[in-house]
């Protein structure tokens, strides 16, 4: 049965979402529980699939049973096996987190909310595991549509933010579609494996150059790379409380993974214009790292602060692609996976504080660590990992990125890495100071929470995030050894 | 104003330069271009043998790249759910259209004044039936002629819209509340996904119609497979269109509102 | 010189026009102030992408991709793959426009107008 | 002897305080104060037992090497005992017991808030210090180095008021920036040399870091050490950290943080760069002159300080630069002198801080000008202060004397007359800023009415004070008493050269 796992990981949340509305009509929580079951199953399968890939090599799955270039194909190797597992886990714990945000009044709204989250996760899972260019476009659109809805659910200002994000997102989607079209016109197939074989034979440099530029523009907009990041801060501040972690934590990262897949696996590294493109990308990444952190320092709204800091994180993942050495790539992949839990976790905290005290403004976070120990512990863990203090995953990913940068002689990126992690330190310790030390602002509970700090449905995801941040720290060598044989650097 | 004109001129000239300097696209219409020689001619030559459907587009759509169409239907479904979630909250807006319960209670017999516009109601029901019949034809005839699930679904929704617009106060052939329509859309998508799962349980790859469990020869299996997913697509498309329609209508205040 | 441009227009003119349509759509999205106009320009942009794909799939002197008894060689039918893909793109643009309309109704209802500057003014007051 | 039990001892040394910290933090609020203090004390005692049990094996020369899991691809998390590490570990573990007894007295006497947080952070600091001593490669060293920084932050900002936050910010700024630069240097070394393990005598060669690169990486690596050790241009976080309660400054200045800085410089220069490369790239000479500049300047500033704790802080900056000077002279004797000075300075300085704390708790006086005739009221405390001042000044039969003479002999052997002059002048300056306090305390002219009758400090503070003074004398008279620390120092010195 295991060779069916790549397909089932994506199909199960899809079926869960499809049925949830009908099942909610039968009983209020039946739809929700079916979605939890489907997500838990898909997470279990993604772990089994990852284990299988590590043991006996990449798996591929041809939909409809036809030969490779003629049917859609899912190709799972260690790189996207890890990404799929991360997305499945984040999806599961975010679904748990959304329990607290339920509007029990209308049956439709309960079933619909979970259906949208399940579709969102199914879209990202598919995006990570697909090996067909056009198929990725459709998954990209499913994720985008669900994201517009999740942002729109965050109240009236969310509507405007969702509309603006929709316009920008559709521009990005269309650019990506045009890139796929040009690649199809040059190579004749849509399967990435087949496409790279044809491109490797050469003679198609100009088409690949134009397609690459379009894709960088499209995927750059989607992942809020520096020059195209305009939509992100407003979108993240008004998100629906539960799913903010998913959108900021995971959705912003999937396009970076797609760009990695195209640049390194499809176009190959000895493509004529590759050096110039990587230099241009390097400039974007460099400015992006600085810009995100500097803007984040001045913010008082915690969600906006996290939104700006996720612009920096996107530049970290692109850093691996720009530096080009396999070690740097492995490092940025590790950061990719770790940061989903760090950024996701921090958004959970922002949501939890808003849920309990109804405020997002940092200044009146006075001394809340007494009332919210788990949240403050997660904020501290996230802060340490963003700065790069050893036991957490942040340190190890910075280590590999720095090593890659030094090996290829690109010292500018090491300096940028250090400066931006210090800038991160500034605004994170500002938050820590406010939480642990500033005067008590006497915040009282907005909602009568029965016992303890937060409903269990919020505490579970947060503690999972804390555990994973430290766990990834210890497992980093296994992950790197898994991933390294697969990556070949630029001009190495 | 000047700024706009300059902007447009810059775009025209810029794009012209790009297209002149890079010849990355094949000359239009020449059949030796790489786009036509690699994958698509395999489809043309083997479509009849593999999928037994003369309509190449349906063959590619439903069989070779069947997974894409499943995702297409999910896009439709997610658009429907999103529209409902966004517009769904305010239920206190006066329900403009007669909900079936009200109609069934006081059914106007022929001769009562409410029944006065006989011809409009009769005409609407006739048209609706005709549209529905044509929709079924398009659905079943999909793989031969240029048809398929999406058009059939749109047509079914059309019959609902026609009866709702022309005679709002008569009972349409079938009326769905917003929640039911959304649920139906979900079921449509599930039918599609379930046919895929059927083939998986039966030992084949996802959506490999050769492995459907029905006791029929291979040739017909593909046709049944395509038929099943077309039914799923139709239900999904119809229900989504109706959901979005009802969500928007309940929310928007028309100028000629009586209240 | 003239024949050069005519030759270019004959061969690649359609692509140039589709990209032109695309850039007008993008320009419209950025430049227009009214949200409804932005939505329409978004649709123009998506149509441009669809036209580009379909123009890729053309073959000179080929019929529609429904198999006819006598004809078997590939050159006589136009490329069915692009048409199948574009069905998906059409559905995606329909879905996005549907959600966009839903958003616009809520914005219109809450902010009373779909003009960008009114919305921003009222939004800050909110 | 069974090797296995010995094998994991360095790991036990790290886990004992860590487990204690966990217990204190989790149970802290629920259990009675005395039980919480009992946890700290038992952990301190246990730690001393574990560390002392390792002494015989290190003395015999066979080092324990414990390779656990691979922390980073290609580098594994290794712990190992070597003479230099042993000295620092013995000092830290020995001082943990008296310091915690003292802080119980201080905290209770001064009715401090959130004591649970204090004791938990204190225990984590000790765990990090143990990790520092036993780390056998740069990655694990950096790991514990950063944990120490983070663990001391809540201690520095103990009072949670605006001033404490400001000094906390300054402390973090200095240490984090230097930490990140250390990280970059570490990566460069790993890429260039391919290994990060500490090798006595260093393993980097001229070929690996050609020309100016060696100097740049040298200063990137010792930057973190210098900041923590408070060498002049980067010292300003240390006086600012005086805002913290006295047991914390005792920990900061005598036991953990400052010593970690000196230890980091020692590890980098002698175990990574190696004396030859350090001398070739002129790094050692520049460092030596920075240390000399710091010794002189800090002693002069110390004389003018009226607040007792500020004066002691500047004296710490001066004394630490002794160690840095001893290391950067790059001769066996001066290295062992510097190592032994870690021991001597720890005991002497901790006594002075405990005295300052005792005075503050019993009489509430902070400035020296208010302490006229305090000897009448607290003769024992001020007696200990006088003894410790003599020791610090380097009088014979005190711990300070041995380490200073070694460093001076090293300087003579290295042919650096200027350093010898500085060391002697600084001994005089030490007297200049410590003796006035003693003289004022025992003047019997016009006495402040408060000090008329005898009112010693609470026994919980007095006992650790006396322990510390007696130890500083014992280590002066018989350096190899019990823990034979001088033996370790000499062994380390010989091993490096």
Q: CA-to-CA distance for D384 and D378, rounded, in angstroms?
A: 10
Question: Could you write out the DSSP letters of every residue in A331-361?
Answer: HHHHHHHHHHHHHHHHHHHHHHHHHHH---B
Task: Identify the residue among A437, A471, A484 best suited for mutation to test binding to D, counting D beta carbons within 10 A and taking the highest.
Answer: A437
- Residue A86: the pLDDT is 92
- Residue A172: the pLDDT is 92
**Total domain count for chain D?**
1
How buried is B2 (Cβ within 10 angstroms: 0-12 exposed, 13-18 middle, 19+ buried)? exposed
- Residue D1: the pLDDT is 39
Using a CB-CB cut-off of 8 Å, the residues of chain C touching A173 are 92
Of D175, D99, D87, D100, the residue nearest D134 (C-alpha): D87
Share of chain C above pLDDT 70, in %: 98
Question: Could you write out the DSSP letters of every residue in D403-447?
Answer: HHHHHHHHHHHHT-HHHHHHHHHHHHHHHHHHHHHHHHHT--SS-
Domain enclosing residue B135, as ranges: 55-90+118-252
B16 vs C16, C60, C79: nearest CB: C16
Give the range among A95-99, A123-127, A350-354, D249-253 with minimum mean pLDDT: D249-253
Using a CB-CB cut-off of 8 Å, the residues of chain A touching D70 are 477
Q: Which residues, in sequence order, are bridge partners of residue D197?
A: D137
Q: Do D and C share at least 3 CB pairs under 8 Å?
A: no
pLDDT band at A1 (very low <50, low <70, confident <90, very high): confident
Convert the pLDDT of each residue in A79-105 to its tens digit.
888 999 999 999 999 888 888 777 666
Residue B114 CA: distances (Å) to CA of B107, B108, D98, D323, D464: 10, 6, 99, 105, 103
**Residue D479's Cα: distance from chain center in Å?**
18
* DSSP structure class, residue A485: G
Count of all residues that appear for chain A in the document: 492
Determine the distance in angstroms separating the CA of D18 from the nearest CA of chain A, rounded to an integer. 14
Averaged over successive runs of 10 residues, the pLDDT of chain D (497 residues) comes to: 58 85 80 81 87 80 74 78 84 85 82 79 88 86 88 84 85 88 88 82 77 85 87 84 82 78 87 82 86 89 86 87 86 85 86 86 80 79 86 81 84 84 86 85 72 73 84 79 74 77
Cβ-Cβ contacts under 8 Å for D177 (sequence gap 6 or more): A422
Q: Do D and B share at least 3 CB pairs under 8 Å?
A: no
* DSSP structure class, residue B190: H
Task: Identify the residue among B59, B82, B189 best suited for mutation to test binding to A, counting A beta carbons within 10 A and taking the highest.
Answer: B82
- Residue, of C42 and B163, whose pLDDT is higher: C42
Stretch C7-20: mean pLDDT, rounded?
Answer: 82
Which own/partner pairs from B164-171 qualify as long-range (CB within 8 Å, at least 24 positions apart)?
B164/B97, B164/B245, B166/B120, B166/B123, B166/B124, B167/B117, B167/B120, B167/B121, B167/B124, B168/B96, B168/B97, B168/B98, B169/B97, B169/B98, B169/B114, B170/B103, B170/B121, B170/B124, B170/B125, B171/B98, B171/B100, B171/B103, B171/B104
Q: CA-to-CA distance for B160 and B238, rounded, in angstroms?
A: 9
A160 vs C22, C45, C107: nearest CB: C107
Restricting to B residues 126-145, those with a Cβ less than 8 Å away from any Cβ of A are none
| Residues in chain B, pLDDT under 50 | 92, 95-105, 256-259
Using a CB-CB cut-off of 8 Å, the residues of chain A touching D160 are 436-437
Is it the case that residue C112 has pLDDT exceeding 60? Answer: yes
Determine the distance in angstroms separating the CA of B147 from the nearest CA of chain A, rounded to an integer. 21
C102 vs B44, B56, B83: nearest CB: B83
- The widest CA-to-CA distance across chain C, in whole angstroms, is 71
A166 vs C45, C52, C100: nearest CB: C100
- Are the beta carbons of D335 and D248 closer than 8 angstroms? no
Q: What is the pTM of this model?
A: 0.87
In a domain, residue B160? The reply is: yes
As a whole number, the mean pLDDT across chain A is: 85
- Residue B259: the pLDDT is 46
Using a CB-CB cut-off of 8 Å, the residues of chain A touching D157 are 437
- Residue B187: the pLDDT is 92
- Residue, of B54 and C45, whose pLDDT is higher: C45
In a domain, residue B189? The reply is: yes
Task: Tell me the count of B-C CB pairs closer than 8 A.
Answer: 152
A171 vs C45, C52, C126: nearest CB: C45
Q: CA-to-CA distance for D171 and D188, rounded, in angstroms?
A: 26
Is it the case that residue A441 has pLDDT exceeding 80? Answer: no
Instruction: Collapse the DSSP code of D383 into the 3-class scheme (helix H, G, I; strand E, B; otherwise coil) and give the result.
Output: helix
Using a CB-CB cut-off of 8 Å, the residues of chain B touching C91 are 72, 75-76, 150
Q: CA-to-CA distance for A150 and A155, rounded, in angstroms?
A: 10
Tell me the pairing of strands A73-76 and A59-62: antiparallel
Q: Do B and A share at least 3 CB pairs under 8 Å?
A: yes
Which own/partner pairs from B107-111 qualify as long-range (CB within 8 Å, at least 24 positions apart)?
none
Cβ contact A422–D191 (<8 Å): no
Place of tokens 């643009």: C93
**Residue A13's Cα: distance from chain center in Å?**
18
Using a CB-CB cut-off of 8 Å, the residues of chain C touching A162 are 103
Tell me the pairing of strands D65-67 and A73-76: unpaired
Question: Could you write out the DSSP letters of every residue in D113-144?
Answer: S-HHHHHHHHHHHHHHHHHHHHB-BHHHHHHH
Q: In the complex, which subunits touch D with 3 or more CB pairs below 8 angstroms?
A: A
Determine the distance in angstroms separating the CA of A217 from the nearest CA of chain C, rounded to an integer. 13
Q: Work out the angle at residue A165's Cα, subtended by the Cα atoms of residues A164 and A168, and round it to the nearest 5 degrees.
A: 90
Residue A169 CA: distances (Å) to CA of A140, A146, C27, C31: 10, 12, 15, 17
Q: CA-to-CA distance for B205 and B199, rounded, in angstroms?
A: 7
Cβ contact C49–A177 (<8 Å): yes
Query: Which tokens in the block code for residue A280?
Result: 């241009």
Task: Tell me the count of A-D CB pairs closer than 8 A.
Answer: 72
Using a CB-CB cut-off of 8 Å, the residues of chain B touching A134 are 65, 68
Q: CA-to-CA distance for A491 and D383, rounded, in angstroms?
A: 73
CA atoms within 13 A on the CB side of D213: 13
Chain A residue with the nearest C-alpha to that of C118: A160
Residues A188-219 as b or e (16 or more Cβ within 10 Å = b): bbbbbbbbbebbeeeebbbbbbbbbbbbbbbb
Determine the distance in angstroms separating the CA of C71 from the nearest CA of chain A, rounded to an integer. 22
Convert the pLDDT of each residue in A476-485 to its tens digit.
888 888 888 8
Is it the case that residue A300 has pLDDT exceeding 70? Answer: yes
How buried is D137 (Cβ within 10 angstroms: 0-12 exposed, 13-18 middle, 19+ buried)? buried
Using a CB-CB cut-off of 8 Å, the residues of chain A touching D183 are 388, 395, 398-399, 402, 418
- Are the beta carbons of D399 and D475 closer than 8 angstroms? yes
C91 vs B54, B82, B150: nearest CB: B150
Is it the case that residue A450 has pLDDT exceeding 70? Answer: no
* DSSP structure class, residue B236: H
Cβ-Cβ contacts under 8 Å for A328 (sequence gap 6 or more): A319, A320, A400, A401, A403, A404, A405, A408, A489
Using a CB-CB cut-off of 8 Å, the residues of chain B touching A178 are none
Determine the distance in angstroms separating the CA of B212 from the nearest CA of chain C, rounded to an integer. 24
Cβ contact A406–D168 (<8 Å): no
Using a CB-CB cut-off of 8 Å, the residues of chain B touching C14 are 28
- Residue B143: the pLDDT is 64
A14 vs B74, B184, B205: nearest CB: B74
In a domain, residue B24? The reply is: no
pLDDT band at A118 (very low <50, low <70, confident <90, very high): very high
Of B36, B228, B45, the residue nearest B143 (C-alpha): B228
Is it the case that residue A421 has pLDDT exceeding 70? Answer: yes
- Residue B146: the pLDDT is 60
B86 vs C13, C88, C106: nearest CB: C106
Q: CA-to-CA distance for B23 and D70, rounded, in angstroms?
A: 53
Cβ contact A389–D147 (<8 Å): yes
Determine the distance in angstroms separating the CA of A303 from the nearest CA of chain B, rounded to an integer. 22
Q: CA-to-CA distance for A42 and B55, rounded, in angstroms?
A: 36
**Total domain count for chain C?**
1
Cβ-Cβ contacts under 8 Å for B54 (sequence gap 6 or more): B47, B48, B143, B144, C66, C67
Residues A269-278 as b or e (16 or more Cβ within 10 Å = b): bebeebeebb
We report the CATH number of the domain holding residue C57 as 1.10.287.3510
* DSSP structure class, residue A112: H
- Residue D2: the pLDDT is 41
Using a CB-CB cut-off of 8 Å, the residues of chain B touching C110 are none
- Residue B169: the pLDDT is 63
Convert the pLDDT of each residue in A383-396 to its tens digit.
888 888 877 888 88
Phi, psi of D260 (to 5 degrees): -60, -40
Domain enclosing residue D383, as ranges: 3-496
Is it the case that residue A490 has pLDDT exceeding 60? Answer: no
User: What's the CA dihedral at A246, A247, A251, A252 to 10 degrees?
Assistant: -130
CA atoms within 13 A on the CB side of D433: 30
Cβ contact B82–A148 (<8 Å): yes
C26 in reach of chain A (CB within 8 A):
yes
Using a CB-CB cut-off of 8 Å, the residues of chain C touching A166 are 42, 96, 99-100, 103
The distance in angstroms from the start CA to the end CA of chain A is 39
Residue B186 CA: distances (Å) to CA of A279, B193, C97, D9, D63: 47, 11, 20, 62, 69
Convert the pLDDT of each residue in A53-64 to its tens digit.
888 888 888 888
- Residue B107: the pLDDT is 54
Determine the distance in angstroms separating the CA of A168 from the nearest CA of chain C, rounded to an integer. 9
Share of chain A above pLDDT 70, in %: 95
- Residue A47: the pLDDT is 92
B35 in reach of chain A (CB within 8 A):
yes
Using a CB-CB cut-off of 8 Å, the residues of chain C touching B1 are none
Convert the pLDDT of each residue in D412-424 to its tens digit.
888 888 888 888 8
Count of all residues that appear for chain D in the document: 497
**Total domain count for chain B?**
1
Domain enclosing residue C22, as ranges: 2-125
A392 in reach of chain D (CB within 8 A):
no
Cβ contact A185–B33 (<8 Å): yes
Cβ-Cβ contacts under 8 Å for D241 (sequence gap 6 or more): D156, D167, D171, D249, D252, D313
A170 in reach of chain C (CB within 8 A):
yes
Query: Which tokens in the block code for residue B95?
Result: 């329900």
Cβ-Cβ contacts under 8 Å for A157 (sequence gap 6 or more): A238, C123, C126
Using a CB-CB cut-off of 8 Å, the residues of chain C touching B47 are 67, 80
Query: Which tokens in the block code for residue A166?
Result: 């929709």
Cβ contact C66–B146 (<8 Å): yes
Q: CA-to-CA distance for A143 and D494, rounded, in angstroms?
A: 66
Convert the pLDDT of each residue in A134-182 to its tens digit.
999 999 999 999 999 888 887 777 888 889 889 999 999 999 999 999 9
Q: CA-to-CA distance for A399 and A392, rounded, in angstroms?
A: 12
- Residue A387: the pLDDT is 86
Using a CB-CB cut-off of 8 Å, the residues of chain C touching B61 are 84, 87
In a domain, residue B243? The reply is: yes
A480 in reach of chain D (CB within 8 A):
yes
A228 in reach of chain C (CB within 8 A):
no
């Amino acid at each position: 049965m295991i060779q069916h796992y790549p397909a089932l990981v994506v199909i199960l949340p899809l079926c869960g979402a499809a049925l949830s509305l009908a099942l909610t009509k039968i009983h209020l929580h039946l739809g929700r529980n079916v979605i939890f079951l489907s997500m838990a199953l898909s997470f279990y399968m993604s772990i089994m699939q990852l284990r299988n890939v590590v043991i006996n090599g990449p798996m591929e799955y041809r939909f409809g049973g036809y030969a490779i270039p003629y049917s859609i194909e899912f190709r799972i190797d260690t790189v996207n096996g890890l990404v799929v597992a991360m997305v499945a886990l984040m999806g599961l714990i975010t679904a748990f987190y959304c329990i607290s945000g339920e509007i029990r009044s209308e049956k439709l709204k309960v079933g619909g909310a979970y259906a949208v989250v399940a579709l969102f996760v199914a879209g990202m899972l598919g995006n990570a595991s697909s090996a067909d260019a056009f198929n990725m476009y459709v998954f990209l659109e499913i994720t985008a549509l669900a994201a517009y809805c999740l942002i729109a659910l965050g109240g009236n200002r969310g509507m405007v933010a969702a509309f603006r994000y929709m316009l920008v997102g559709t521009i990005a989607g269309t650019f990506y579609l045009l890139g796929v079209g040009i690649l199809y016109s040059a190579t004749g197939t849509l399967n990435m494996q087949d496409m790279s074989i044809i491109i490797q034979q050469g003679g198609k440099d100009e088409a690949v150059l134009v397609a690459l530029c379009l894709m960088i523009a499209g995927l750059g907009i989607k992942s809020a790379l520096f020059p195209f990041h305009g939509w992100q801060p407003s979108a993240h501040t008004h998100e629906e409380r539960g799913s903010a972690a998913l959108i900021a934590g995971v959705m912003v990262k999937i396009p970076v993974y797609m760009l990695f897949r195209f640049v390194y696996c499809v176009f190959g590294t000895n493509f004529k214009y590759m050096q110039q493109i990587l230099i241009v990308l390097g400039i974007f990444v460099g400015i992006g790292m600085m810009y995100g952190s500097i803007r984040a320092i001045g913010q008082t709204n915690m969600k906006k602060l996290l939104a700006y800091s996720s612009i920096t994180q996107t530049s970290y993942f692109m850093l691996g692609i720009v530096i080009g050495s396999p070690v740097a790539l492995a490092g940025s992949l590790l950061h990719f996976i770790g940061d989903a839990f760090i950024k996701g976790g921090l958004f959970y905290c922002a949501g939890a504080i808003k849920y309990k005290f109804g405020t997002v403004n940092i200044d009146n976070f006075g001394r809340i660590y007494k009332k919210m120990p788990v949240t403050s512990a997660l904020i501290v863990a996230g802060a340490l990992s963003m700065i790069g203090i050893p036991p957490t995953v942040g340190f190890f990913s910075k280590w590999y990125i720095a090593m890659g940068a030094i090996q290829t002689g690109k010292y500018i990126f090491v300096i940028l890495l250090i400066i931006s992690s210090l800038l991160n330190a500034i605004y994170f310790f500002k938050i820590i100071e406010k939480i642990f030390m500033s005067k008590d602002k006497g915040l009282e509970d907005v909602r009568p929470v029965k016992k303890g700090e937060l409903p269990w449905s919020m505490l579970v995801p947060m503690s999972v995030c804390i555990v994973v941040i430290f766990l990834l720290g210890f497992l980093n060598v296994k992950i790197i050894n898994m991933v390294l044989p697969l990556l070949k650097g630029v001009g190495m | 104003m000047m700024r706009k004109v300059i902007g447009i001129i810059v775009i025209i000239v810029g794009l012209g330069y790009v297209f002149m300097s890079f010849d990355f696209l094949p000359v239009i219409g020449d059949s030796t271009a790489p786009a036509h020689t690699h994958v698509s001619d395999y489809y043309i030559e083997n479509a009849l043998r593999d999928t037994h459907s003369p309509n190449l587009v349906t063959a590619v759509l439903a069989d070779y790249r069947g997974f894409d169409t499943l995702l297409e239907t999910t896009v439709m479904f997610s658009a429907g759910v999103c529209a409902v979630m966004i517009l769904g909250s305010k239920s206190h807006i006066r329900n403009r259209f007669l909900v079936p319960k009200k109609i069934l209670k006081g059914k106007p017999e022929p001769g009562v004044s409410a029944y006065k516009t006989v011809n409009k109601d009769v005409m609407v029901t006739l048209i609706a039936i005709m549209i529905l019949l044509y929709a079924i034809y398009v659905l079943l005839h999909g793989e031969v002629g240029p048809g398929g699930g999406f058009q059939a679904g749109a047509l079914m929704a059309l019959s609902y819209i026609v009866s709702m617009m022309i005679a709002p106060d008569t009972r349409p052939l079938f009326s769905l509340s917003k929640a039911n329509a959304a649920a139906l859309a979900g079921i449509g998508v599930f039918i599609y996904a379930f046919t895929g799962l059927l083939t998986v349980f039966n030992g084949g790859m996802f959506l490999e119609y050769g492995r459907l469990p029905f006791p029929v020869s291979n040739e017909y299996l593909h046709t049944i497979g395509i038929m099943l997913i077309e039914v799923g697509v139709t239900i999904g498309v119809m229900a989504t269109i109706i959901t979005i329609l009802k969500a928007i209508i309940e929310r928007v205040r028309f100028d000629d509102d009586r209240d | 010189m003239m024949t050069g441009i005519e030759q270019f227009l004959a061969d690649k003119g359609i692509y140039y026009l589709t990209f032109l349509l695309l850039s007008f759509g993008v320009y419209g999205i950025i430049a227009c102030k009214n949200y409804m106009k932005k939505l329409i320009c978004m649709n123009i942009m998506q149509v441009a992408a669809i036209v580009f794909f379909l123009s890729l799939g053309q073959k000179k002197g080929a019929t529609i991709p429904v198999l006819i008894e006598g004809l078997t060689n590939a050159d006589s039918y136009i490329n069915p793959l692009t048409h199948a893909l574009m069905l998906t793109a059409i559905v995606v643009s329909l879905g996005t426009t549907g959600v966009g309309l839903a958003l616009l109704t809520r914005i219109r209802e809450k902010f009373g107008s779909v003009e960008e500057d009114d919305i921003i003014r009222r939004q800050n007051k909110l | 002897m069974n090797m296995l039990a010995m094998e994991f001892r360095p790991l036990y040394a790290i886990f004992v305080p860590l487990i204690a910290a966990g217990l204190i933090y989790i149970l802290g609020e629920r259990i009675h104060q005395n039980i919480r203090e009992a946890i700290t004390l038992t952990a301190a005692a246990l730690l001393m037992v574990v560390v002392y049990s390792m002494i015989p094996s290190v003395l015999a020369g066979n080092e324990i090497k414990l390779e656990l899991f691979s922390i980073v691809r290609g580098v594994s998390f290794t712990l190992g005992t070597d003479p230099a590490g042993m000295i620092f570990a013995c000092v830290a573990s020995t001082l943990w017991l008296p310091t915690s007894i003292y802080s119980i007295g201080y905290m209770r006497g001064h009715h401090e808030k959130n004591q649970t947080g204090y004791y938990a952070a204190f225990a984590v600091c000790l765990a990090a210090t143990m990790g520092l001593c036993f780390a056998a490669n740069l990655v694990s060293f950096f790991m514990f180095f950063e944990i120490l920084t983070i663990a001391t932050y809540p201690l520095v900002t103990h009072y949670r008021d605006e001033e404490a936050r400001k000094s906390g910010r300054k402390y973090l700024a200095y240490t984090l920036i230097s930490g990140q630069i250390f990280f970059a240097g570490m990566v460069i070394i790993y890429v260039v040399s391919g290994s990060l393990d500490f090798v006595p005598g260093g393993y980097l060669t001229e070929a690996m870091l050609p020309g100016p690169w060696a100097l740049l990486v040298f200063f990137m690596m010792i930057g973190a050490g210098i900041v923590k050790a408070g060498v002049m241009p980067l010292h300003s976080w240390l006086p600012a950290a005086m805002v913290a309660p006295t047991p914390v400054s005792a920990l900061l200045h005598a036991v953990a943080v400052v010593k970690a800085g000196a230890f980091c410089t020692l590890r980098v220069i002698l175990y990574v760069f190696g004396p030859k490369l350090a001398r070739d790239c002129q790094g050692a000479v520049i460092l030596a002159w920075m240390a000399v500049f710091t010794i002189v300047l800090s002693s002069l500033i110390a004389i003018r300080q009226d607040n007792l704790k500020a004066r002691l802080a500047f004296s710490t900056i001066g004394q630490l630069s002794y160690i840095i000077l001893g290391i950067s002279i790059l001769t066996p004797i001066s290295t062992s002198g510097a190592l032994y000075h870690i021991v001597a300075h720890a005991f002497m300085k901790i006594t002075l801080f405990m005295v300052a704390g005792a005075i503050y708790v019993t009489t509430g006086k902070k400035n020296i000008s208010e302490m006229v005739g305090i000897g009448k009221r607290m003769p024992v405390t001020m007696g200990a202060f006088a003894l410790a001042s003599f020791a610090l000044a380097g009088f014979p039969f005190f711990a300070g004397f041995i380490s200073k003479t070694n460093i001076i002999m090293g300087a003579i052997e290295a042919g650096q007359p200027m350093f010898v002059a500085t060391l002697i002048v600084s001994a005089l300056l030490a007297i200049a800023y410590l003796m006035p306090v003693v003289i004022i305390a025992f003047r019997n002219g016009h006495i402040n009415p408060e000090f008329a009758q005898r009112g010693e400090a609470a026994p919980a503070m007095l006992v650790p004070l006396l322990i510390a003074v007696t130890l500083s004398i014992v280590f002066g008279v018989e350096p190899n008493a019990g823990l034979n620390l001088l033996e370790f120092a000499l062994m380390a010195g010989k091993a490096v050269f």
